[in-house]
Structure 1
Amino acid sequence: MSADLKEEGFQASEVLVAIATSFAGLSEDEKKAQIKKVNAIFELQLKNGSGKTGTWTIDLKKTGSVYKGPAKPKADVTIIMDDATFVDLASGKLDGQKAFMTGKLKAKGNIMLATKLDSVFKSAQGKAKAKL
């Protein structure tokens, strides 16, 4: 499953693998609680240093999973940023609101849901930090 998330040239793919791994480690009850708390599908459109764009989806509305490609069904919020910004957000080096205010992060759809992505990062952070 995690190998499907890897994308050459994207540091973010390591973080997404860590998030997927943390979801996989949850019991059904924990996963249901996380889905109930977040209740959103996030589509991430990331651009790396060489200008290539990669798309991943974090589904915390239906399945509690992470996959590569556009959201199916439609995302509640689409978040657009560069690869390095995503890694900084996930590691806690950068605040989401600051990234949004400074134009490093753009969001389409229900922008308020984008704030919930922070809790997703925090729950996976222990595992993600080990990877960074």
Structure 2
Amino acid sequence: MSEAKEIFEEINTALGENPSHVEGFNAVYQFELEGEEPYQLVLRGENSYAKQGTDEEADCTLKMNTEDFKALSEGNLNGTQAFMSGRLKIKGNMGLALKLQNILSSYKAASK
């Protein structure tokens, strides 16, 4: 199993166990990671999930390599700095992209 797939499965499990961190959200993030199939993070309160594929229309698409995604999801990479340095490319709603790091870090903190 790829590292990206493991991370998205962990995110999916966390969303199912505790959707409170995404209450009030209605957004679809698409992740295009080098060497991987696309993944989506669909945030719709209690109906939130992460999956491989592109079934939903994305509000915000993020392109990066898998190592940077892992670092971002673990809170070891600042999304704004990654964007400014060209390690992260964003298409779509920039405001949603800025909120993503807080969402990921809230689940990371809850899993400790």
Query: What letter matches 1:46 in structure 2?
Result: L
For residues 103 and 22 of structure 2, the distance between their equivalents in structure 1, rounded to whole angstroms, comes to 9
Distance 2:22 2:110 in 1: 17
Over the aligned positions, Cα root-mean-square deviation in angstroms equals: 2.0
Q: Is 2:107 the counterpart of 1:119? A: no
Identity %: 30
Structure (1 or 2) with the larger CA radius of gyration = 1
Following superposition, the deviation at residue 39 of structure 1 comes to 2.7
Distance between the aligned counterparts of 1:104 and 1:44, measured in 2?
13
How far is 1:102 from its partner?
Answer: 0.5
The alignment covers a number of residue pairs equal to 111
Alignment partner of 2:50 out of 49, 62, 66: 66
Q: How far apart are 1:33 and its partner, in Å? A: 6.3
Instruction: Note the C-alpha offset of 1:83.
Output: 0.3
Unaligned 5+ runs, structure 2: none
Structure 1 residue runs of 4 or more that deviate by more than 2 Å after TM superposition: 126-129
Rate the CA distance shift 1:13–1:126 in 2: closer, same or farther, 3 A.
Answer: farther
Q: If the length of structure 2 is used for normalisation, what is the TM-score? A: 0.86
* SS state at 1:54 partner: coil
Q: Partner of 1:70: helix, strand, or coil? A: coil
**SS at 1:53's partner residue?**
coil
Q: 2:2 matched to 1:18?
A: no
Report if the CA contact (8 A) 2:31-2:62 is conserved.
Answer: yes
Q: 1:89-100 residue pairs with structure 2 within 5 A? A: 89-100=72-83
Q: Tell me which residue corresponds to 2:22.
A: 34
In structure 2, what is the equivalent of residue 3 of structure 1?
none
User: Offset of 1:128 from its aligned partner?
Assistant: 6.3
The answer to whether residue 59 in structure 2 is matched with residue 76 in structure 1 is: yes
How far, CA to CA, are the matches of 1:33 and 1:125 in structure 2? 11
